[in-house]
Structure 1
Amino acid sequence: MSEFFIENIGLKVGLEIHQQLSTNKKLFCNCRPFESDEYTIKFQRRLRAVKSELGEYDPAALFERSKFKTMMYYANQESSCLVEQDEEPPHQLDGNAKNLVLIISSALKSNIFSEIYPMRKTVIDGSNTTGFQRTMLVSQGGYIEVDGEKIGVQSICLEEDAARLLGDKGDIREYSLDRLGVPLIEIALEPVEGDSKKIKKIALSLGRLLRSTKKVTRGIGSIRQDVNVSIRDGGGVVEVKGVQQLDQLEKVVEFEAKRQHGLVKIAEKLQNSSFDKISRETDIFDITNDFKICQSKIIQKAIKDESIIKAIRIRNFAGMFGYSPHEGIRLGKEIGQLVKFYGIGGVFHSDELPNYGIEESDVVIVKKILETNENDAFLIIAAPLEKIDFAIESIINRISQAKNGVPAETRLATQTGETTFLRPRPGASRMYPETDIPPIIVTNKELLDSKNNIPKSWDESIRELQKKYNLNLQLAEQIFDSQYLEIFEKICEKTSTTPTFVASILCSSITSLERNGLNSQLLKNEEISKTFEFLEDKKITKESIEIIFENVMSGKSKTIEQAIKNTSIETLSKEEFEKIIESIVKNNKEIIQNQKERSVSPLMGIAMKELRGKVSGEMVNNTLLEKIKKFLENN
């Protein structure tokens, strides 16, 4: 494997930030954004690719069509209407969303257009019931300053958010319509050179500017970063979608830089080989009958499901599927990810066989049918009849592209910071005018109002937060950057709990539980607020809050009341508490006699095992010390 240095490869990254706007209604109807697992409406659709006004098909739409998915939609009348179901034309544009995107454009010194033209962007992966996403170009140009450097703004758009993906069940893809139509601002920045840390800092600065408006939604899923990544002499630009967290963004940029550099190395090796091309007429073989005796469980399942098994011969390609210029970067892995998006389990290639239950005798049969020699390679693919030819065509195209380096494509970010193939890059024929909505005029008054309402800078917002709640700088920054600022301010208004303690629980305690693998999304804001109300009413202690949150975030309880019951947290009467302390002192006389008042430390550990979450640690400590002194006086 060759050495890899990210600073030497000419890395360029262009950020696209997608942020939900908190306007309490959707962009083209009066429905309230509200996520729920209860659905009263269910319907299905099949989406098809159609030609654009230029008479061309969009490549991304063609790819999605080839998956043959049926879309199942679930809706709740509280959060969606006939507009989301595409049974009614869009209503008037939400004025609050329009004003907010104008304010953000002004804050970025972007040039706002006097007329905004709604457009349709073809999307047939099922995330839009219409087969398109409505989007409006609001402004172009401008910049954001990061560490003294001006990072240019390419464009700012106002658009609808997509439906929420619930999951795939075979050929059925399920979506919830609660998120569809929520106002979304898209800010595309100019590509910049630098490393992943610089990109993370730019994303953080832009996110802070948006949060300074106090009009954007917070929390997982409310802000997404798409990154366009390319390297010097790499070939195409790769768009990575679905980055939701800054730490993930840093890892994605590093991985994609390494992956693209590895693909360049693979291309260089191919250019120096005798590999030419794959013939669709003479290099593809149906081996279904020949593989009926193969004992591989994967192959046997494919035969049972009446799938077709085909082999692709690649002349002068031996060793190329398994060649790994960097750890985890192989052409064979790229091909495997490609076919998975057709709903196909994967492919076998000659560099990894015999393996996966395919024995040497099976390999001999394939080589004999394909008439290969030691310099040749082959692939084996099993898929339903209606999918296999689409998948083989994609494989042949991908192998042909390998000579040119990095193919321009759209990829999906994983939670571990890697990327997987999603679809080809869309073309220019993807966009066309929206016929149901007239052009939207931006008046001089609206322009003036947007400039007069530019939010405070992040530094000013932090200073204001520090002063108002008497927080230290670190806590003020943490709570402002977190998803909990709004709930923090509500708790501080409603209860007498110190803001420092509230901020510590929301930032440090919840983050610590997340690091232990627990899910913060299970902990709803209303349950957090209720916990501090219980604390105010002395129904629980400060020490019990983390225990309660741990129980909810682990999925053991849905509500705070359930968590209190499940963890046996209950406040004790003074008499019950003192009785427990006296019993501990009585059972540990020898320790007290030996260590005197220092015995409070080991006895504290014993006491907290029984009293954790039921009585404050300070009260336990004070009462123990008092009882120990009394014991020593009497003995």
Structure 2
Amino acid sequence: MTEYDYEELGLVAGLEIHQQLDTATKLFCQCPTELREPEEATRTFTRYLHPTRSELGELDAAAVEESKVDREFEYLAYDSTCLVEADDEPPHELDEEALETALEVAQLMDMAPVDQANVMRKIVVDGSNTTGFQRSTLVATEGEIETSEGAVGIEDLLLEEESAQRVEATDDGVRFSLDRLGIPLVEIGTSPDISTPEQALEAAERIGMLLRSTGKVKRGLGTIRQDVNVSIAEGARVEIKGVQSLDDIDDIVHNEVGRQVALVEIADELAEREAAVGEQQDVTDVFAETDSGVLRGALNDGGSVMAVLLSGFDGLVGREIAPDRRLGTEFSDHAKRHGAGGIFHTDELPAYGVTEAEVTSLREAVGAEPEDAVAIVADDTDVAESAIEAVAERAQTALEGVPEETRGANDDGTTRYLRPLPGAARMYPETDVPPVEPDPSEVPTPELLTEKVERYQAEYDLDAGLAEQVAYGKHMPLFEDVVANGIDPTLAASTLESTLTELRRDDVPIESLTDDHLSDVLEMVETGDLPNEGVPDLLTALADDPALTADAAAEAAGLGGVDDDAVREAVAEVVERNEAQVEDEGMQAFSALMGECMGALRGKADGDLVSQLLREEIQNRT
């Protein structure tokens, strides 16, 4: 990995953290916040979305570009989908539970709540909202968190509605599911105080810990997303959306710094060459007899091959600017936004079935000199024309350096172009929801997870590792509830963390287990109705048939406890069957016989009791 002097480069970064809240209902309606399977949809409907002007008559650049792609948006609705979610009824009042949780988060970051929270509309025409906008309200400002590299300011905390979940692309557009639409989430924006990739990761981890400390946020893949804003002194501000894994943030920042450094170097070299971008041209005739599968397919469907002359770009279109990504990849991202499959360019040709002779003819057709490059797009004529125009526009910005834009995070730590940066024109007031006046006086300050770890060790005598697993785990609120109701802390912690982890590794569908299942099983152990050894089997039975109660599942699986006399009798029978081994080995036979005893009792007896009685029985016979 290339090392950079981030201070010398003038790295400036900031974070936007989006975290779903675990509320009973959605932000502007009473629908549940549980996700559904697409197969459960009971109906569908479609929308076509278009950008609208702000109160000042302005159009947002990002919305305008999005609207250039003509798409139909199909929405999957469920038996729980209401008229608000379908945009057939005005939104209801802001959810009080979500607002209270947002105020708790604000307190943990020393933020000042606003006097009045007004709901705004943020224009979004990518189909992820049935309305064509996202509702958002500012809750608090001017906070701060600490990192090992210094304080990072928290500029704002907003309460927003989650977007619809993208299911798949269709022939006509995109299909979305409405189960996620409207789930409350908080958006936390930091000041641009971050100066290294490591500090970006640390700040994100700190914010994540504070969010989970409330015990009121959803957990799991897709419930938290990180956006990262990155720039260097000679580059430009780039917003990177949708970083799913916290561990990727430092790599994302590092790779974006490298990308901007490379683009600045390319711009300098293009300036020295006096490079320019030529006009777009139809070069279909050049490839009339081509054997290239991609080009042949487009031409057979009645399409065209469009080209653009990139004067002075030879060797630079193919230059790597990020791991496995080149300047040509940037051009291709823009072409794909307009429906094309990608581009070919002369830095990589001949290849893909395109011959040397065809490359020569292509260069002649557009008047390319040896120091020039040519990019081509083959597709339906309208698509090819709009795509090659987008390529030309992106090549023009390469002459200037790093374009300001919004990019999407890839799984490998690189990014791809999404759209231009949004501007102020995308926000305007929501007139259907009355403002609210947040009252933080009755909002409790949650205990930090770091403080919980220390308390669990001191108060419950948990070891450091198990205490941390419980405090940071998804079952932390349940652990606190059951322990408050008299369940042994060690039993609760080991069951909710170690036992469930082992069952998941054994492919037991533990996601089917509810909090009631888990608390009832722990209660059965506490009252002596279930031995510790029976917990995995009972949880497995409940996971396989979650409609059962813990008592019913235990009875069906024969997992009820047995009294001491029955245990003593079962142990005596095992020792009797292995009398010769006991006489020969004495207490050394214990380990082998212990397993046999537990098998005979099938998890119905506590292991400590079985161990005690087995030792007594062996001693009596030796």
What's the TM-score, normalizing by structure 2?
0.82
Question: 1:63: which partner in 2?
Answer: 65
Question: 1:434: which partner in 2?
Answer: 430
Question: 1:478: which partner in 2?
Answer: 469
Q: What is the alpha-carbon distance in structure 2 between the residues aligned to residue 545 and residue 259 of structure 1? A: 53
Q: Which moved more, 1:339-348 or 1:300-309?
A: 300-309
Question: 1:448: which partner in 2?
Answer: 441
Question: 1:272: which partner in 2?
Answer: 272
Q: Displacement of 1:132 after TM fit?
A: 0.5
Query: Is 1:263 aligned to residue 250 of structure 2?
Result: no
Question: 1:524: which partner in 2?
Answer: 511
Q: Displacement of 1:133 after TM fit?
A: 0.7
Q: 1:462 to 1:273 in 2, by over 3 A?
A: same
Q: Displacement of 1:167 after TM fit?
A: 1.9
Kept in 2, the 8 Å contact 1:495–1:532? The answer is no
Question: 1:368: which partner in 2?
Answer: 364
Q: Displacement of 1:474 after TM fit?
A: 2.9
Q: Displacement of 1:134 after TM fit?
A: 1.0
| Deviations 1:168-189, CA, capped at 9 Å, x for gaps | 1343211111121122221111
Q: 1:622 to 1:36 in 2, by over 3 A?
A: same
Q: Displacement of 1:431 after TM fit?
A: 1.0
1:303-314 equivalences in 2 (<5 Å):
303-314=299-310
Query: Is 1:54 aligned to residue 53 of structure 2?
Result: no
1:177-196 equivalences in 2 (<5 Å):
177-196=178-197
Question: 1:284: which partner in 2?
Answer: 281
1:222-233 equivalences in 2 (<5 Å):
222-233=223-234
Q: Displacement of 1:302 after TM fit?
A: 2.3
| Deviations 1:371-430, CA, capped at 9 Å, x for gaps | 322211111112333433332222112111112322111112223332222211112211
Question: 1:43: which partner in 2?
Answer: 45
Q: 1:356 to 1:559 in 2, by over 3 A?
A: farther
Q: Displacement of 1:68 after TM fit?
A: 1.7
Kept in 2, the 8 Å contact 1:226–1:242? The answer is yes
Q: What is the alpha-carbon distance in structure 1 between the residues aligned to residue 605 and residue 393 of structure 2? A: 67
What is the identity, as a one-letter code, of the residue corresponding to 2:278?
Answer: S
Q: What is the alpha-carbon distance in structure 1 between the residues aligned to residue 357 and residue 28 of structure 2? A: 62
Q: Displacement of 1:353 after TM fit?
A: 1.1
Q: Displacement of 1:151 after TM fit?
A: 1.8
1:64-143 equivalences in 2 (<5 Å):
64-78=66-80, 80-143=81-144
| Deviations 1:106-148, CA, capped at 9 Å, x for gaps | 4433333322222111000111100001111223212223348
SS at match of 1:141: strand
Q: Displacement of 1:55 after TM fit?
A: 2.9
Q: 1:312 to 1:130 in 2, by over 3 A?
A: same
| Deviations 1:258-314, CA, capped at 9 Å, x for gaps | 2222222222222222312x233xx42241x44242222222332344333212221
Q: What is the alpha-carbon distance in structure 2 between the residues aligned to residue 314 and residue 152 of structure 1? A: 44
Query: Is 1:334 aligned to residue 330 of structure 2?
Result: yes
Q: 1:511 to 1:544 in 2, by over 3 A?
A: closer
Q: What is the alpha-carbon distance in structure 1 between the residues aligned to residue 2 and residue 274 of structure 2? A: 23
Q: Displacement of 1:3 after TM fit?
A: 5.9
Q: Displacement of 1:240 after TM fit?
A: 1.2
Kept in 1, the 8 Å contact 2:142–2:153? The answer is yes
Q: What is the alpha-carbon distance in structure 2 between the residues aligned to residue 546 and residue 224 of structure 1? A: 35
Q: Displacement of 1:502 after TM fit?
A: 5.3
Q: What is the alpha-carbon distance in structure 2 between the residues aligned to residue 67 and residue 598 of structure 1? A: 77
Q: What is the alpha-carbon distance in structure 2 between the residues aligned to residue 600 and residue 266 of structure 1? A: 74
Structure 2 counterpart of 1:348, from 326, 344, 348: 344
Structure 1 stretches of 5 or more lacking a match?
Answer: none
Q: What is the alpha-carbon distance in structure 2 between the residues aligned to residue 290 and residue 166 of structure 1? A: 40
What is the identity, as a one-letter code, of the residue corresponding to 2:79?
Answer: Q
Kept in 2, the 8 Å contact 1:224–1:244? The answer is yes
What is the identity, as a one-letter code, of the residue corresponding to 1:76?
Answer: Y
Q: What is the alpha-carbon distance in structure 1 between the residues aligned to residue 251 and residue 431 of structure 2? A: 41
User: What RMSD, in angstroms, separates the aligned Cα atoms of the two structures?
Assistant: 4.4
Kept in 2, the 8 Å contact 1:252–1:413? The answer is yes
| Deviations 1:441-461, CA, capped at 9 Å, x for gaps | 426xx24334xx222344433
Q: Which moved more, 1:295-304 or 1:344-353?
A: 295-304
Q: What is the alpha-carbon distance in structure 1 between the residues aligned to residue 65 and residue 148 of structure 2? A: 41
Q: 1:434 to 1:534 in 2, by over 3 A?
A: closer
Q: Displacement of 1:492 after TM fit?
A: 5.7
Structure 2 counterpart of 1:461, from 441, 452, 462: 452
Kept in 2, the 8 Å contact 1:228–1:237? The answer is yes
Percent of paired sites with the same residue: 35
Query: Is 1:379 aligned to residue 379 of structure 2?
Result: no
What is the identity, as a one-letter code, of the residue corresponding to 2:303?
Answer: S
Q: Which moved more, 1:2-11 or 1:204-213?
A: 2-11
Q: What is the alpha-carbon distance in structure 2 between the residues aligned to residue 143 and residue 477 of structure 1? A: 25
Q: Displacement of 1:545 after TM fit?
A: 7.2
Question: 1:153: which partner in 2?
Answer: 154
Q: 1:262 to 1:507 in 2, by over 3 A?
A: farther
Q: What is the alpha-carbon distance in structure 2 between the residues aligned to residue 412 and residue 585 of structure 1? A: 67
Question: 2:29: which partner in 1?
Answer: 29
Question: 2:240: which partner in 1?
Answer: 240
Q: What is the alpha-carbon distance in structure 1 between the residues aligned to residue 574 and residue 8 of structure 2? A: 66
Q: 1:509 to 1:339 in 2, by over 3 A?
A: farther
Question: 2:165: which partner in 1?
Answer: 164
| Deviations 1:240-266, CA, capped at 9 Å, x for gaps | 111233212233222222222222222
Query: Is 1:358 aligned to residue 331 of structure 2?
Result: no
Q: Displacement of 1:543 after TM fit?
A: 9.4
SS at match of 1:381: strand
SS at match of 1:85: coil
Q: What is the alpha-carbon distance in structure 2 between the residues aligned to residue 411 and residue 442 of structure 1? A: 36
Q: 1:18 to 1:434 in 2, by over 3 A?
A: same
Q: What is the alpha-carbon distance in structure 2 between the residues aligned to residue 107 and residue 126 of structure 1? A: 34
Q: What is the alpha-carbon distance in structure 2 between the residues aligned to residue 472 and residue 61 of structure 1? A: 53
1:586-625 equivalences in 2 (<5 Å):
none
What is the identity, as a one-letter code, of the residue corresponding to 1:334?
Answer: E
Q: 1:327 to 1:95 in 2, by over 3 A?
A: closer
SS at match of 1:262: helix
Q: What is the alpha-carbon distance in structure 1 between the residues aligned to residue 51 and residue 110 of structure 2? A: 38
Q: Displacement of 1:190 after TM fit?
A: 0.4
What is the identity, as a one-letter code, of the residue corresponding to 2:441?
Answer: L
Q: 1:364 to 1:147 in 2, by over 3 A?
A: closer
SS at match of 2:411: coil
Q: Which moved more, 1:26-35 or 1:256-265?
A: 256-265
Q: Displacement of 1:200 after TM fit?
A: 1.7
Q: 1:454 to 1:320 in 2, by over 3 A?
A: same
What is the identity, as a one-letter code, of the residue corresponding to 2:465?
Answer: Q
Question: 1:316: which partner in 2?
Answer: 312
Q: Displacement of 1:58 after TM fit?
A: 1.4
